[in-house]
């Protein structure tokens, strides 16, 4: 952990400076010391993924789902020059209210955001880094980034994919966001040596829908199976993480034709308006919510809650115990 932190942030400074940049909540610190299961949660989904106040309500609901399912939630973001692991309710609300003004933060952005004292909402890749620094191997999110449509021309590829090759954190998600080129995303992950494992499915989920048409070579059906794979990967010293692709619950899944049409319209608008880079995903998601009359937002919330549940169960299986909220009172 110290070597990774040194490489990421502090160059040739002493390891004592680590505390300058990262703060663990009391609950997270105690849970780590006692080997309790913890699930990391991101902040970009709060600031950039949903409108206020639904974003804050969802963040609290996701934390409660992790608690109920046997693990400690640790929402992570950058505030006032520190990576904060285990945000307070007031800090979560701050991310929700700041919204798009918060800086989306991945590997490239950490040093800048910390040095300027900015509010940094962590992406999937950013949360993986912070989670690994804190010693938390499990992370629940909505969907990973990937190769954008027309990526063969634009080279617009999410930093999430490189991070998955380099940082040993398990990301539990509903597949890649369906606004992306899922086929090329899977090819990229395969080249990077990242296992993409279907949870109760043989097919890559497509975020809002349970099927994408792309078969997966690996499948697990229990938290214990997923935990065992990660344990062996770490024992072998492999540097990267893995994706647990957990489909949206069937009752919450959207009609494929409807969501495909909404995505196509949103992508067309983005092209017409010249939207590029890190602005693409928030733009597309906002337009898809409008196109579907809010149905996509409801699906997004449902799949995140489902991923939080599965992540907590896998973390508990890995640790061989469940977290009791009042254990340290």
Query: Over the stretch 11-54, which tens digit does the pLDDT of each residue have?
Result: 444 445 678 899 999 999 999 999 999 999 999 999 998 989 99
pLDDT at 149 (0 to 100)? 74
Read off the pTM. Answer: 0.91
Mean pLDDT, residues 272-277 taken together: 84
Residue 154: pLDDT band with limits 50, 70, 90: low
pLDDT at 16 (0 to 100)? 56
3-class secondary structure, 165: helix
- Please state, rounded to an integer, the average pLDDT across all residues of the chain: 91
Q: What are the catalytic residues?
A: 42, 177
Nearest-angstrom CA–CA distance, 270 and 215: 29
Cis peptide before 258 (omega within 30 of 0): no
Per residue in 73-111, pLDDT tens? Answer: 999 999 999 999 999 999 999 999 999 999 999 999 999
pLDDT at 280 (0 to 100)? 79
Nearest-angstrom CA–CA distance, 266 and 38: 36
Residue-range domains of the chain with CATH: 2-319 (3.40.1790.10)
**Does residue 197 carry a pLDDT above 90?**
yes
Nearest-angstrom CA–CA distance, 1 and 100: 31
The tokens for 214 are: 């792309």
Percentage with pLDDT > 70 across the chain = 92
Residue whose C-alpha is closest to residue 311's, from 231, 246, 219, 217: 246
pLDDT at 3 (0 to 100)? 43
Exposure string of 116-146, with b = 16+ CB inside 10 Å and e = fewer, is eebbbbbbbbbbbbbbbbbebbbbbbbbbbb
Burial class (CB in 10 A: 0-12, 13-18, 19+), 296: buried
């Amino acid at each position: 952990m110290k070597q990774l932190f040194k490489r990421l942030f502090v160059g040739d400074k002493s390891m004592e400076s680590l505390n300058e940049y990262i703060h663990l909540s009391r609950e997270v610190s105690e849970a780590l010391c006692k080997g309790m299961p913890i699930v990391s949660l991101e902040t970009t989904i709060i600031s950039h993924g949903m409108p206020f106040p639904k974003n804050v309500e969802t963040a609290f609901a996701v934390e409660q789902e992790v608690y109920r399912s046997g693990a400690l939630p640790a929402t992570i973001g950058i505030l006032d020059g520190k990576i904060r692991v285990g945000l307070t309710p007031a800090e979560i609300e701050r991310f929700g209210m700041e919204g798009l003004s918060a800086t989306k933060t991945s590997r490239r952005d950490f040093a800048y955001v910390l040095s300027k004292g900015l509010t940094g909402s962590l992406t999937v890749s950013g949360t993986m880094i912070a989670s690994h620094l804190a010693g938390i191997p499990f992370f629940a999110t909505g969907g990973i980034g990937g190769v954008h449509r027309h990526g063969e021309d634009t080279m617009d590829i999410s930093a999430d994919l490189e991070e998955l090759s380099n940082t040993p954190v398990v990301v539990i998600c509903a597949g890649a966001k369906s606004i992306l080129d899922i086929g090329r995303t899977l090819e990229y992950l395969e080249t990077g040596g990242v296992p993409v494992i279907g949870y109760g499915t043989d097919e890559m989920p497509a975020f809002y829908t349970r099927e994408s048409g792309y078969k997966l070579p690996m499948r697990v059906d229990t938290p214990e199976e997923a935990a065992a794979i990660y344990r062996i990967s770490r024992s072998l010293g492999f540097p990267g993480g893995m994706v647990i692709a957990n489909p949206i619950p069937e009752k919450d899944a959207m009609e494929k034709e409807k969501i495909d049409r909404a995505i196509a319209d949103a992508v067309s608008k983005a092209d017409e308006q010249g939207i590029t880079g890190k602005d693409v995903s928030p733009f597309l998601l906002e337009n898809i919510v409008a196109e579907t009359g809010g149905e996509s937002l409801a699906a997004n919330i449902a799949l995140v809650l489902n991923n939080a549940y599965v992540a907590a169960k896998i973390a508990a299986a890995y640790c061989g115990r469940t977290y009791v909220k009042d254990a340290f009172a």
